[in-house]
Amino acid sequence: MDRLLVLVRHGQSEWNLKNLFTGWHDVGLTEKGEAEAKKAGEILKADGLSFDVAYTSDLKRAQDTLTIILDELGQADLPTIKDQALNERDYGDLTGLNKDDARARFGEEQVHIWRRSFDVAPPGGESLKDTAARVLPYYEAEIKPRVLAGERVLVAAHGNSLRALIMEIEGLSGEEIVKRELATGVPIIYRLNEDGTVAQKQDTAV
């Protein structure tokens, strides 16, 4: 039994390019982001992978990334489930601010704490701990059972919603996961044991 789970962060978005805090704001992919998604599809196709079901967030940049990947795989009609449980972390009052402007306004140390601590939320927004509190119950209820039943599952989502998943799958602490960088449009391929732990991991960025 394969128990295949592939996670992909969306390709570069318009606000990634502008160095803005994006969160739940719904922006599209750049041309580079579309090319990254296409490359992700090519990587998965070259590995001979296909899928039984896909999950994505309620946001366009993740959905568009998934669409491009599935087109590349010849699986455009794959059953796809969209849910805001997989949305990016909500950056609250930082949403739409340039990261350099935010540092000038709030101080470099404070912005670093908001971005890279596990449990400190920006004003009006979510910490990574808060994000995990909505992502992980969804994973446990909806995604993990299908993987453990032998279905091949693809998830296209966001840096922080995927960090929450990786923390759970790899058994990492909050302090460990905040240090993990996720490149845009790069598949991480897991094969799980029957208890949901990692049997094999392939990071295609390496």
Just list the catalytic residues: 10, 88
Tell me the C-alpha to C-alpha distance, in Å, between residue 103 and each of 27, 108, 134: 23, 5, 28
> Which residues, at least 6 apart from 32, have a Cβ–Cβ distance to it below 8 Å?
11, 12, 17
- How far is it, in rounded angstroms, from Cα 3 to Cα 15? 34
What radius of gyration do the chain's Cα atoms show?
16
Q: Which of 202, 200, 160 is nearest to 181 (CA)?
A: 160
